[in-house]
């Protein structure tokens, strides 16, 4: 029996290909201006749900006030959805018409 027949000298290369993983799409969370929600309440929302400092929250609130909308964060779909729901629920419980939405980045 030759060495080749019993398989001892077979040289084969096993190539494992790594599957290419794609990063999940990100979503922008947007805060919309209205004429009724107090500015202080918007600042509180930004500090509480988005972890902003008072200065950051104040700057974003002014952007919302002046431009009508501002991006307050960029998150995965699930987190963005949760943030929108938290803001909307908190606003309704405090009887404010503040609107928060999300859109794909």
Give the three-class secondary structure for 89.
helix
pLDDT over 80 at 5, yes or no: no
Q: Please give the average per-residue pLDDT across 28-44, as a whole number.
A: 97
Q: What angle do CA 38, 27, 23 make, to 5 degrees?
A: 155
Q: Please give the average per-residue pLDDT across 23-28, as a whole number.
A: 94
DSSP annotation of 23: P
pLDDT at position 89 is 98
**What is the C-alpha separation between 45 and 91, in angstroms, rounded?**
9
Q: Please give the average per-residue pLDDT across 18-42, as a whole number.
A: 93
pTM for the predicted model, two decimal places: 0.79
**Cβ pair 46, 57 in contact under 8 A:** yes
């Amino acid at each position: 029996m030759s060495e080749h027949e019993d398989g001892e000298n077979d040289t084969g290369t096993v190539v494992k290909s790594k599957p290419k993983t794609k990063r999940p799409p990100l979503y922008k969370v947007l805060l919309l201006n209205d004429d009724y929600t107090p500015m202080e309440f918007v600042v509180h929302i930004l500090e509480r749900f988005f972890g902003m400092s008072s200065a950051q929250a104040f700057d974003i609130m002014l952007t919302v006030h002046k431009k009508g909308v501002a991006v307050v964060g960029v998150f995965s779909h699930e987190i963005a959805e949760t943030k929108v729901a938290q803001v909307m629920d908190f606003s309704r419980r405090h009887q404010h018409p503040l609107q928060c939405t999300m859109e794909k980045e």
